[in-house]
A and B are shown apart, each in its own frame.
Chain A
Amino acid sequence: MNWNTFTWIAIATSLLWIVGAVVSTRSRRRGPAVAISLAGSLLFLTFIIGLWMTLGRPPMRTMGETRLWYSLFLSLTGIFIYARWGYKWILPFGAMMAVMFVCINVFKPEIHDRAMMPALQSIWFVPHVTVYMFAYALMGAVTLFAIYLWIRSSRKEVQPEEMQVCDALVRMGWGFLTLGMVMGALWAKQAWGDYWAWDPKETWAAITWVGYLLYMHLRPRLKDNRKAFGLLIFCFILLQMCWWGVNYLPAAQDLSIHTY
């Protein structure tokens, strides 16, 4: 399994996700849509595992590789939310996002490097990146939900239960962000002797983490839901800065060890 087979897997996976999303909007039962979407995710996971075996290292090093995990977790998060709460919009949105990231990998593949520098050869590498990608996927899903609710609010009032879904997803995402950050700290101590060195990526990870923490503390006092949605979108922009924006930030050029 390598990047040459990716295009075919991408087409099959995207079709399954899209069909699953369409079925979710048409069918009253959740089972069929969940099964079809899950089949897409499992196919995608099979590709990732195959790529892992071909490369001889976890496919988590390059931007393109982290996008694979993001697509996978985004689809799984969408399926989970749909199966749990039954929102009809989540699978189409989740599938759209996941397919978009798959398309970026098809049309603009980053150079996929076989080599892995010594610092990355650690037991922390896989869990650190995986939980971060899961957190990003959850935060992506909650941002989509917030945008949807915000747009819809002119027609239909936002229900308290819907805000609770937002809050639950943020708490879950923040939990994963925390796990990723703590694992990164424990790893950094093992590799460089310092658990926190204010590397630009670390600073932006802290910014994102504090941003969502602010949301969690502010929410009980926010009467206007639109402010909550605004803050969620702002936090997601911070998250994007942390994920890839920092690579292009003039203030961080040549200063980060997290370059990929």
Chain B
Amino acid sequence: MTYPWSLILCLLFVYLLIVIYLFAGKRVSFLYDGKASTVALAIVLVFLLIFGLVRQDGRPDGLWGALGFTDMAGSPVFAAVLLCFAGMTLLRAIENIHHFSLRRFPMAFSHIALSVILLAGVFGKGDKQYLTATVQEGERVGMAADETGKQRPLPFQLGLKDFSMEEYSPRLMLANASTGARIPGYLTLTEDFTSGTLGDWEITVEEFLPMAGRLADSLDYQPMQHVGAEPAALVSAVHRTTGKRVKGWVGADSFLFGKAVLPLDGEQALVMPRPMAKSYLSEVEIVLPNGKVRSADITVNHPLSVGSWKIYQSAYDMSKGRWSTVSILDCVRDPWYGVVQVGLWMLMLAALGMIMFAGGIKKKAE
């Protein structure tokens, strides 16, 4: 269901409930009184528990699959439950507005906010567009993939001028030699790091290269300002009890030069995981339908607004890490979010009121 039907149906739903409340009055209070609320909340809780306990992998087999509960977010039954719950909350909200009392504003605000959020969530679901654009450096795209992978047109062209990444310092870790599973504990490598302990091993770094690579016929790393360069270190490890000594290169995984793991004994090896991303940034240009070109930077938590769309930094080519020349950007259009936002801030106010006047009933009883 998409605009304008989503909006029309939503308004009709709200109108219908207002009419029912105004004209049927107390005869329909069983729909939203305290008893009904507890029953509705219990039903929602049961559905949410199923949602939380059944693996949401969308598999159609088994009892839960046949009922559609392995994809609860897309289940019409769950949507119907939420809609009924929203309707009941709305009736309660209408009653709260009708008999408004400042003392009970946290409750009234909670009901109004929750019904606004639920109604916008249920009716606005179809209007939301969530498209993923995969853009190469130096290229522009005008299409992006929807959730099913189908390419959809964007109302603008999205070009990637540059993708860059800042990383944390690399680490040395122990790993299980046969499974590769990393063992908790690490040493952070910086220019001034010399030695430290990992498990039973005394680790001494003899040479640290923040940007390194190696030639095809060599096991040794050398400094390299080259695409694919990753940190590497020449390390010696001494076992604290047996005194066994091992020396060799450990290097982070590079898409070009591979990785270097230092076997310590039959059980453990010294590894250098690829440094974690600290931040990554896409320098983009947006070509609008009128031909205007706009440049901007997009980072995680700092989306770019283009008309009614927002562009989010989502991911990059993980196999290349900092050398990725691809940026994955999510383009989202969510016309109902403004309504949801009103509901969310209202719910925040209600919560603050609830905290401030939590002991209110006690005072009254006294």
Residues of A near any B CB (own CB < 8 A): 111, 114-115, 117-119, 121-122, 160-161, 164-165, 167-169, 171-172, 174-176, 178-179, 182-183, 185-186, 189-196, 198, 200, 203-204, 206-207, 210-211, 213-214, 217-218, 220-221, 241, 246, 249-252, 255
Contact = CB atoms under 8 A, between A and B. Distances in A.
B279 to A, nearest CB: 5
Nearest 5 pairs of A and B residues by beta carbon: A178-B351, A193-B332, A175-B354, A175-B355, A118-B300
B35 A221 contact: yes
A114 B168 contact: yes
A249 B51 CA distance: 12
Interface in B257-299: 276-280, 299
A184 to B, nearest CB: 10
Nearest to B364: A164
24 contacts: A118-B279, A121-B300, A164-B361, A167-B361, A171-B358, A172-B354, A174-B351, A175-B351, A176-B351, A178-B110, A178-B351, A178-B354, A182-B351, A183-B348, A193-B303, A198-B56, A198-B72, A198-B73, A203-B48, A203-B52, A213-B41, A214-B38, A249-B53, A251-B53
B45 A214 contact: yes
Given A172-B358, A200-B52, 5 more contacts: A121-B279, A185-B344, A191-B312, A204-B52, A207-B51
Contacts of A241: 52
Given A118-B279, A164-B361, A198-B73, A193 B310 contact: yes
A249 B54 CA distance: 10
Q: Is the interface of B mostly helix, strand, loop or mixed?
A: helix
B42 interface: yes
Contacts, number: 146
Contact of A111 (B44, B168, B184, B310): B184
B188 A114 contact: yes
B41 to A, nearest CB: 4
Contacts of A114: 168, 188
A182 B344 contact: yes
B21 interface: no
B307 interface: no
B49 interface: yes
B56 A160 contact: no
B105 interface: no
Interface residues of B, number: 61
Contacts of A198: 51, 56, 72-73
Interface in B317-353: 330, 332, 334, 337, 340-341, 344-345, 347-348, 350-353
A218 B351 CA distance: 19
Contacts of B347: 178, 182
Contacts of B312: 191-193
B4 interface: no
A111 B186 CA distance: 9
B121 interface: yes
B348 A178 contact: yes
A33 to B, nearest CB: 21
Contacts of B60: none
B34 interface: yes
B359 interface: yes
Contacts of A213: 41
B256 to A, nearest CB: 24
